[in-house]
Amino acid sequence: MKKCLLILIILSLKQLAFAQETGLQQRGVIRVQKKGQLAKIQFDDVNYRLVGIDVYGNVLDTAVLEFQMSVTIKGIFYSETTVGPNLTYQMQQLLGRRDQSSLLFFDKIKVKDRSGNIFDMPKFQFKMGYANENNN
């Protein structure tokens, strides 16, 4: 009885090892390239810069080559242009003087994708602060 049980265990272990071995041979590797085309530009209000976002949601720090920022403060329109993704010192000073719910307008945005192609991105706006809204 013990010999039969031992033989049964050995045969089942061989069968399991064979099944695992054939499973490894049939297993393939799927590789997904997580680098996509530049999809949009966002304003990083913590680091005061523009960053590119590709179709997979990856942040591209060096995508923005130049842009123009515009803002209206107390009825006066200000516009500044910079080279690179970071806001200049003058732009940061404007942000310090802005109203509670000012809109920042970013346009003339030139970007470079991972392939090295340079192209223009559409303009966008960013709402600084918040406005008190009554939900009636």
Per residue in 72-81, pLDDT (tens digit) is 888 889 999 9
Share of the chain above pLDDT 90, in %: 24
Q: Say yes or no to pLDDT of 32 above 70.
A: no
Tell me what the mean pLDDT of segment 44-56 comes to: 87
**What pLDDT shows up at residue 20?**
54
Helix (H) or strand (E) holding 96: helix 89-97
What are the φ and ψ backbone dihedral angles of 3, each rounded to 5 degrees?
Answer: -65, -40
Contacts of 118 (CB under 8 A, 6+ apart): 65, 110, 111, 112
In the chain, which ranges are E strands?
A: 38-44, 49-54, 59-60, 64-73, 76-83, 103-112, 118-121, 124-127
Q: Say yes or no to pLDDT of 133 above 50.
A: no
Q: Say yes or no to pLDDT of 54 above 80.
A: yes
**What pLDDT shows up at residue 35?**
62
